[in-house]
Amino acid sequence: MYEPPEPSDLPSLPRLPGFGELADTGHAWVETVLAHAPAAVAITTAMGAVLLVRPMLARRARGARHAGARMVTVLAPAGLDPVDALAGGLRLWRDLTGTAPPAWRRALFGPPPHLGVEYRLTAGAEPAVRVWIPGEIDTHRVASAIRAAWPGAQAIPDPPGQPDTTLPAGTITGGMVRPVRGALLPLRLPDPRAGEDPLRALEALAGTLRASEHVMVQILARPVVGRRLRRYRAALARIQAGRPARPSLALGAVTGLVRAALALLTPARRTTTSHHYGRRPGPDPLRTERLAAMRRKADEPMWEVALRYAAATTNTGRGARDRVRGLADATFACFALLSGPHNALARHRLPHPSRALSARAMRRGALLSATELAALAHLPSRTPGLGEPTARRIPAPPDIPEP
């Protein structure tokens, strides 16, 4: 005989909420939104204000840096050899790493201020070394670092109001220099004991200039801190782990699908017991050497560097264009000593060279270590102050006021 199931044995169906419960839920949600609305509005307003105000603050900071900038002429001490010149450059750029502002100033006013080192070549004179210091950095701070790097050197600021003439009007051409293989691989460091100095080639180039010709090399540098330094170290860590420096989610997904398809279509190979084929491949010597060079570079202070050069003449015509093009090629060739097995320097086009060199604006540069920057920017072994009594081997007396 059929017995109906008990009510407790029947499966329970989900109960739909009624209109009253939906109204109560909506009312509670509205009350929650209204309760947190002032905080949400305040946070949104603050974020919008930061996004709108930060570019304006960054532009004003750049304008103040250029408006209060000073030019300093550097005279080397007598008897400065290439070894001491490069060693002093390394100490200088390690010392000036401390000019980077704190994190909150970088968040409001943009990247740190950059310094400029300029070599100006004219006929009948040795290369003149000048340092461009923005208004945010104290001139005495840089002058003290220069004297500490090269004892006996002098940093003479230009008088206020003196016009800053970079290159004369006429025929001009130039370019900018960047590493070929990115920032991870280091450049070749010249050996000063073997006479390898890029500035010695500049001195030789100065001896070939005519009265109407000028050559200028400009190096802009600022310390690398914050997010870009973290990205650089993260890319190095990925390279050391055997992964690509720049991970791509789309490329990783496509690679995974291709590998899975090949694993399904390709039969598994039989493992062999031969001693010859069973050995594990040894480490790649070239990769090991590159990783060691990368680690040595990452252990030093990092700088963001922009290298530009230009050659100019007051003459015009086809002959003048060919002449300045040859001088520009010779200027770039002076830095060929830094090209090595891991990385090299390549030149690129620089639109409006005179305007770019006069503006001294730096948006983004190559990442170089302090040693690589010292190989580019240091005092030459001979300067216009070599034969003058102002170039001394000992520091200046303390009773003489600083400029």
Nearest to 57 by CA among 116, 101, 115: 101
The average pLDDT across 30-51 equals 70
Nearest to 184 by CA among 226, 227, 246: 246
Contacts of 4 (CB under 8 A, 6+ apart): none
The answer on pLDDT for 187 being more than 70 is yes
- Calculate helix-pair angle for 198-206, 318-333, nearest 10 degrees: 150
Cα 33–chain centre separation: 46
Give residue 196's pLDDT.
82
Give me the residue label for tokens 């890319």.
Answer: 235
Give the pLDDT confidence of 351-403 residue by residue, as tens digits: 889 888 988 988 888 899 999 999 999 998 854 443 444 444 444 444 444 44
Give residue 251's pLDDT.
55
Greater confidence (307 vs 57) lies with: 307
Helix (H) or strand (E) holding 310: strand 302-313
The average pLDDT across 15-34 equals 68
Counting every residue written for the chain, the total comes to 403
Q: Which of 14-23, 204-213, 336-345 has the lowest mean pLDDT?
A: 14-23
Give CA–CA dist 240/251, Å, rounded. Answer: 20
The answer on pLDDT for 188 being more than 50 is yes
The average pLDDT across 237-263 equals 69
Give CA–CA dist 74/76, Å, rounded. Answer: 6
Give residue 369's pLDDT.
92
Give residue 37's pLDDT.
72
Give the pLDDT confidence of 193-226 residue by residue, as tens digits: 887 888 888 888 888 888 888 999 999 999 998 8
The answer on pLDDT for 156 being more than 60 is yes
Give CA–CA dist 161/365, Å, rounded. Answer: 30
Q: Which of 41-55, 108-122, 280-294, 315-329 has the lowest mean pLDDT?
A: 41-55
Ordered DSSP codes for 345-398: EEEEE-SSHHHHHHHT--S--EEEEHHHHHHHSS--SS-TTSSSTT--SSPPPT
The answer on pLDDT for 293 being more than 80 is yes
Give CA–CA dist 51/202, Å, rounded. Answer: 45
